[in-house]
Structure 1
Amino acid sequence: MASENRESEGLTLLGNQGTVYSSDYDPTVLETFENKHAERDYMVTFRCPEFTTLCPITGQPDFATLYINYIPHIKMVESKSLKLYLFSFRNHGDFHEDVTNVILNDLVKLMEPKYIEVRGMFYPRGGISIYPFANWANPDFGYEGMAKGRMFEQLSDLDTGDGAR
């Protein structure tokens, strides 16, 4: 019964024992389901502590914790498909800032949320940590001011581990 419900919603990956892990960037694995509380604004947060991508120049791995926050509209991203999508970056070479913006753009195109932000907390390499942040607000819902404010407000949320804030 649950399997039939998932298929009727277009969810093909959830519970699938034959999961295929793409070896390079693949946004086609992303799936959505209906937001059953579209009349209410609420935030959905994903914390992805094992994100990996490759440096496009050296081919060395880069590791990050990604944070994805969004206010859904009609569609929501299914978490297993998001996991497979993020896994598809494992052998993909791109700069941290590019990866963050590509993820944001793909999720905006997929869901058309009211608001979304993606923060990449990349671990140090060569003594430097990079924390790219990108966000987007659907102009139909009045979150543009919040989007502008969050660009710098999110910096105060950072725990740098060195006492600086």
Structure 2
Amino acid sequence: MREETKDELQGITLLGNHNTSYQFDYDPAVLEVFHNQHIENDYWVKFNCPEFTSLCPKTGQPDFATLYISYIPEINMVESKSLKLYLFSFRNHGAFHEDVVNIIMKDLVKLLQPRYIEVWGKFLPRGGISIDPYCNYGKPGTKYEKLAWVRIEQHDLYNMDKVDNR
């Protein structure tokens, strides 16, 4: 392993830790980052999270979803185990579906300062209706800000991201 990589991984504490503590309440502090090794490139990082759960803030009933998180990194990237623990921390968190995807996106924007990010929740039906909120962010003043608008305009128009979770 090159010396730079060792230094860059100093802040990663959860990966490889066998004494993982699972937080049952919303906790963005669990998120960890590492440096993008290919900052000169534009590329997508996609996470598909088919076992996401949160609670309805009114009834306390569980809501189940597949979350899709896609981003184009700038300097920082989210470490995947910390992302899993962060998403797990919603398990007992009461929030409407629309709030959940926006909270996750805003936490990741604050942490990563990505070029572009989008979060899409495909929630399972409850009471005969499903809710699929989508939100995104493009770095202001850049081509990624324009990309965010294009993705909003064309969201779900061509079924770009086919989902078979229900």
Structure 2 counterpart of 1:30, one-letter code: L
How far apart, in 2, do the equivalents of 1:160 and 1:68 lie?
Answer: 14
Structure 2 counterpart of 1:119, one-letter code: W
Structure 2 counterpart of 1:121, one-letter code: K
Structure 1 counterpart of 2:152, one-letter code: M
TM-score (norm 1): 0.91
Percent identical: 62
Structure 2 counterpart of 1:118, one-letter code: V
Aligned length: 160
Counterpart check, 1:23 vs 2:24: yes
Q: Map residues 131-146 of structure 1 onto 2, 5 A cutoff.
A: 131-146=132-147
Residue 85 of structure 1: aligned partner = 86
1:124, distance to aligned residue in structure 2 (A): 0.3
Instruction: Encode CA deviations 1:10-43: one digit per residue, 9 max, x unaligned.
Output: 0000000000000100000000000000000000
1:141, distance to aligned residue in structure 2 (A): 3.1
How far apart, in 2, do the equivalents of 1:73 and 1:67 lie?
Answer: 19
Task: Name stretches of at least 5 consecutive residues in structure 1 with no aligned partner.
Answer: none
Residue 95 of structure 1: aligned partner = 96
RMSD, aligned α-carbons? 2.0
Preserved CA contact (<8 Å) 1:6 1:12: no
How far apart, in 1, do the equivalents of 2:92 and 2:111 lie?
Answer: 22
Compared CA separation, residues 110 and 41, structure 1 to 2 (3 A): same
Q: Map residues 1-80 of structure 1 onto 2, 5 A cutoff.
A: 5=6, 8-80=9-81
Structure 2 counterpart of 1:24, one-letter code: D
Task: Name stretches of at least 5 consecutive residues in structure 2 with no aligned partner.
Answer: none
| SS state at 1:89 partner | coil
1:153, distance to aligned residue in structure 2 (A): 1.8
Instruction: Encode CA deviations 1:79-113: one digit per residue, 9 max, x unaligned.
Output: 00000000000000000000100000000000000
Residue 127 of structure 1: aligned partner = 128
TM-score (norm 2): 0.90
| SS state at 2:156 partner | helix
Counterpart check, 1:112 vs 2:113: yes
Instruction: Encode CA deviations 1:53-103: one digit per residue, 9 max, x unaligned.
Output: 000000000000000000000000000000000000000000000010000
Preserved CA contact (<8 Å) 1:29 1:84: yes
| SS state at 1:136 partner | strand
Compared CA separation, residues 58 and 69, structure 1 to 2 (3 A): same
